[in-house]
Amino acid sequence: MSEKQTSFSIKNWSQDDQPREKLRDKGKLTLSDAELVAILIGSGNRNESAVDLCKRILASVDNNLNALGKVSLKHLMEFNGIGEAKAITITAALELGRRRKFEDAVKQEKITSSRDVYDIMQPVLGELSHEEFWVIYLNNSNKVLQKQQLSKGGITGTLVDVRLVLKQALEVGATALILCHNHPSGTLKASEADKKITQNLKTAGLSLDIKVLDHIIVTEKAYFSFADETIL
């Protein structure tokens, strides 16, 4: 008589070991990253439980959720037991987490420092492989009226139209603005082009009584502030 094959599906585990039940009974903070991802995929493969499989997936990115959020569907599908549907589920969940961070940052309506700008814009720009230029429009209390992408370019730079920036400032009633763009290379140094567009906007804004308060260069883990470095 043949021996019945062991199932590694979560539903066949002891209830104390099932991530869903553990979350329900003990709270989400008690679960490891692997257990949380295991809830998403539901089952492992013939030789691994969902949690063991997720431990291997996480180990492939040094147990860094941020890094996991950047991997391709193809990379995830290289793991036995991860098909397209499960790979998409993992990717979608991590993207929601990234967007949640952005939504939390947006609630901070008033800009009081360069760090506030970075906290708002890093989730938008920090992980991009191309360069984008954004403007944050502020009222006279330094509260955010609007954030707008002005241009999107290749990895070498973007083009910025001074007239469009000031036209939008007038339309939203802004009295000040902060410039922001990313350096996909991770370089925290202002180029001559960065300095030139900042000066052009600052000079043009004076005639309309619109101040350029700062220009922030964003990378994944750090930022550079023209105002902090006194080059504005």
Task: Kindly report, residue by residue over 3-46, the tens digit of the pLDDT.
Answer: 444 445 555 554 445 899 988 988 888 899 999 999 999 999 99
Which among 103, 136, 158 is the end of a domain?
103
Helix axes 19-26, 33-41, angle to 10 degrees: 120
Residues 160 and 188 in one domain: yes
Continuous H helices in the chain: 19-26, 33-41, 50-59, 65-68, 73-76, 84-106, 114-125, 162-172, 192-206
Q: Last residue of a domain, which of 103, 131, 155?
A: 103
Final residue in a domain of this structure, among 73, 103, 133: 103
Question: What six digits make up the tokens of 82?
Answer: 């991860």
Number of domains in the chain: 2
Q: What is the pTM of this model?
A: 0.59
Do 201 and 163 share a structural domain?
Answer: yes
3-state class (DSSP) for residue 144: strand
Residues 44, 99, 33: CA angle, nearest 5 degrees: 30
Residues 95 and 115 in one domain: no
Query: 2 lies in a domain?
Result: no
What domain range is 29 assigned to? 10-103
Do both 219 and 115 map to the same domain? yes
Instruction: Kindly report the CATH number assigned to the domain that includes residue 123.
Output: 3.40.140.10
More confident residue, 109 or 216: 216
In this structure, are 155 and 220 located in the same domain? yes
Do 32 and 134 reside in the same domain of the chain?
A: no
Co-location of 114 and 162 in the same domain:
yes
pLDDT digits (tens, 9 = 90+) for 205-229: 999 999 999 999 999 999 999 999 9
